[in-house]
Structure 1
Amino acid sequence: MIPFSIQAPWLNNAVARQTVRLLSAVGLSGFMVWLTNLQEPGWAIITSVIVTQNSITDTISKGRDQIVGTLIGAVASIVPITLMMFLRWPLWEAFAIAFIPLAVLVSWKPEARMGVVTLMIATLFPSEGDPYLRPIERVLAILIGVGVSTLVTYVVLHEKARRDAFRNAAETVTQIVAMLQKARSGDTDWVTIQDMNDECAASLRKVQAALEEARREHWKPLEQRDPMLAQLPKEVRQLQMDALVVARAMLRFPHSGATIPPQQVATISAGLLRGFQWVIQRCNDEATARSGDDSRVAAEVISALPAEDETADPIIRFVVGILLTDLKHIISFLGEDDADRP
């Protein structure tokens, strides 16, 4: 499905895009309920407002909760309606028979809370016509609202999951570099490093969220249509874990009694920084356009990295060696040209 988009500077604002999507969903829902001539058209419009989210993932999740809850409430409302129509039960007693089990269910599964709302509407707020049609119309209204919201989220100013994933990956690697530089300065403690690592983890979660969004954008598996994006969170996560270990080793180094010549430290740091900067730039480039890259460029970047045995300290050599291995892997990975994939 090809998303509808308009090239306008103000549409670069996420709030503006969501506003357009929301207005589109409300307008289309209103048109659909006018065509179907529902007795209570407002519920389709209300549902479209609730369900329309910034991302496909959130919209589908909200829509699923609305549909499941409404179906549960519609089925449950048949009980009090039947009791009142054929057995002449009082309203509140008949309502309580269905409400109490639903209250227990909602306490256990809060996402089913729309069931209680549907039960109340169908039972406590009577309308003209057959009472059994009320829950059915309620379900139809919800289905219209959810369907319209899902369609709008897919096709109207659709968010670019790939762009967001690579931008957040670049931000994560930038934070990794900052953490390593902070640890190298020695003017910090482990708590500060942990806080910086938490920031890296938060950015990495955004990469993963964008990846999940990208999986829902197309029927074809992401691993086939964009293997670079599918592998991206795993590669960046490995760098994050390696960097935390290296930072921990650097913090203990001044207290270990071992020494490394300053020139050696500067050489290793400069080499690693060049590699990280290339990864950051590469992620930013992929966020702009899926252009691919020459693998020879990646090979040149890898060859410029420091050697694993440039330090005599065994612990530093070991942890830096691990970081170098994974840094080389992500450079090689990002150097692959997959721009011709569908």
Structure 2
Amino acid sequence: MRTFAKRMFDPFWARRTQLALAIRIAASGVAAYAIAVAFHLMLPLWAVLTSLIVTQMSVGRSLKATRDYMLGTIGGAIYGGAIAVLIPHSGEGSLLALLVLAIVPLAFIASLNPSLNSATVTAVIVLLLPTIHQTNPLDSAIDRVLEVTVGALTGLVISFLVLPSRAVSQIRINAAKLLELLSAAFAELLAGLTRGLDNDALHRIQDGIGTAVTNLNATGAEAERERAVHLSSGPETGPLLRTVQRLRHDVVMIGRASGTPLPADIQARLARPLSDVSNAIVTYMTSVAVTLRAGVGAVDIAPVDAALHAYSDEVAAIRHDGLIRGLPVDAAERFYALGFSLEQMRQNLTDLKRCHGNWCVDEDAAEERVA
């Protein structure tokens, strides 16, 4: 019975962040509708829709969505109400002209600043709603602002109170995912030094990494937004984000060096050192990813240093034996570029260790404090 229950609930537990978001959205919609009805707002629909829009994956993202939606709504209501009151119009022809006057400038502003997209929609509603409900434009603008305010505040409060999700915890997850993608790409690229990789293979290896970097940077901005208003604590996100970004650049540089296999005699000399480097770095990055998710644990970087030191010694021996002198220029450039990239990666992995220490608690140290 326990096994059956575990099999049933494990998939939901693995998606607990998404499930919590669904519960928050449902709570926001229901609460916004109840409040809108209690205050006798003209269209509770807009309060409900606004609450759904501003309830986001993290509190930091909800803050940004609320700010952007409120600014756009207030600006659109003021502009739409102003032109409706100041410019006389009657009949469909004049209303169409007024719609053009409302949409064009606001749509242009939204194209420059997408966070103000709601301004265009609000202005259109302020202009058209009086023709449906026989109200004046000023009342329509006020109603729209009140409905959106109720929805936005409801969604924001629900984001704080119902299964709240902080961006700081999501940074751990997103950074861990990106490190796993980078480690897998790194292993494939080093293997390509013996067989070569075409452009399609290089693009396939890099698939998903760019999206993961974008998601991590967005989550970092949300976390800093939470820190700015004292909604969450923890280490600064900048060092971790910059370090992971530099590791991504290292992987890109290694990809450029692995487009063509190394000469056979150099391959034979570097096969074992490169295999050790690949195993050590992949093991280190995946271990960091695991402990980042858990928020606890230490990872030893010594195997990485040892493997890279052995690789450097073999490279020095290859140069001493004169195997580089007869190489074509492009092959020699790839050889030196690989060494430079691995050295840069060593430095960035050392920085990653320092960031990891700020984000994760050492289990042994934690146990000693408890004891």
Q: Residue 230 of structure 1 corresponds to which residue in structure 2?
A: 238
Q: How much has 1:25 moved relative to structure 2?
A: 0.8
Q: Residue 314 of structure 2 corresponds to which residue in structure 1?
A: 310
Change (3 A) 1:264 1:336: farther
CA contact (8 A) 1:279 1:331 kept: no
The reply to whether residue 280 of structure 1 matches residue 286 of structure 2 is yes
The 3-state SS of whatever aligns with 1:116 is helix
CA contact (8 A) 2:50 2:148 kept: yes
The reply to whether residue 324 of structure 1 matches residue 328 of structure 2 is no
Paired amino acid for 1:43: W
CA contact (8 A) 1:166 1:287 kept: yes
- Hey, what's the Cα distance between the residues in 1 that align with 2:354 and 2:141? 58
Deviates more, 1:57-66 or 1:229-238: 57-66
Q: Residue 121 of structure 2 corresponds to which residue in structure 1?
A: 114
Which structure carries more helix by proportion? 2
- TM-score scaled by structure 2? 0.73
The reply to whether residue 248 of structure 1 matches residue 251 of structure 2 is no
- Hey, what's the Cα distance between the residues in 2 that align with 1:336 and 1:67? 36
CA contact (8 A) 1:302 1:328 kept: no
- Hey, what's the Cα distance between the residues in 2 that align with 1:164 and 1:317? 34
Equivalences for 1:113-262 in 2 at 5 Å? 113-127=120-134, 132-183=138-189, 184-185=191-192, 186=195, 188-219=197-228, 225-227=234-236, 229-254=237-262, 257=263, 259-260=265-266, 262=268
CA contact (8 A) 1:264 1:310 kept: yes
CA contact (8 A) 1:33 1:44 kept: yes
Unmatched segments (≥5 aa) in structure 1: 1-7
Q: How much has 1:171 moved relative to structure 2?
A: 2.8
Q: Residue 26 of structure 2 corresponds to which residue in structure 1?
A: 23
- Hey, what's the Cα distance between the residues in 2 that align with 1:117 and 1:235? 46
- Determine what percentage of the aligned residue pairs are the same residue: 19
The 3-state SS of whatever aligns with 2:307 is coil
Deviates more, 1:277-286 or 1:45-54: 45-54
Unmatched segments (≥5 aa) in structure 2: 1-8, 111-116, 319-323, 325-334, 363-371
CA contact (8 A) 2:81 2:123 kept: no
- Hey, what's the Cα distance between the residues in 2 that align with 1:139 and 1:109? 20
CA contact (8 A) 1:182 1:188 kept: no
Paired amino acid for 1:150: L
The reply to whether residue 51 of structure 1 matches residue 54 of structure 2 is yes
Q: How much has 1:250 moved relative to structure 2?
A: 3.1
- Hey, what's the Cα distance between the residues in 1 that align with 2:359 and 2:223? 19
- Hey, what's the Cα distance between the residues in 2 that align with 1:329 and 1:73? 47
CA contact (8 A) 1:28 1:148 kept: yes
- TM-score scaled by structure 1? 0.78
CA contact (8 A) 2:77 2:123 kept: no
The one of 72, 75, 91 aligned to 1:72: 75
- Hey, what's the Cα distance between the residues in 2 that align with 1:222 and 1:196? 38
Superposed CA offset, 1:82-113 (max 9, x none) = 666xxxx5244663464222121243134122
Deviates more, 1:265-274 or 1:99-108: 265-274
CA contact (8 A) 2:182 2:251 kept: yes
Q: How much has 1:337 moved relative to structure 2?
A: 6.9
CA contact (8 A) 2:60 2:226 kept: no
Equivalences for 1:90-109 in 2 at 5 Å? 90-92=90-92, 95-96=95-96, 98-109=98-109
Change (3 A) 1:65 1:329: closer
Q: How much has 1:57 moved relative to structure 2?
A: 5.2
Deviates more, 1:14-23 or 1:328-337: 328-337
Superposed CA offset, 1:101-144 (max 9, x none) = 2121243134122233332344322346x763332122111111
Paired amino acid for 1:74: A
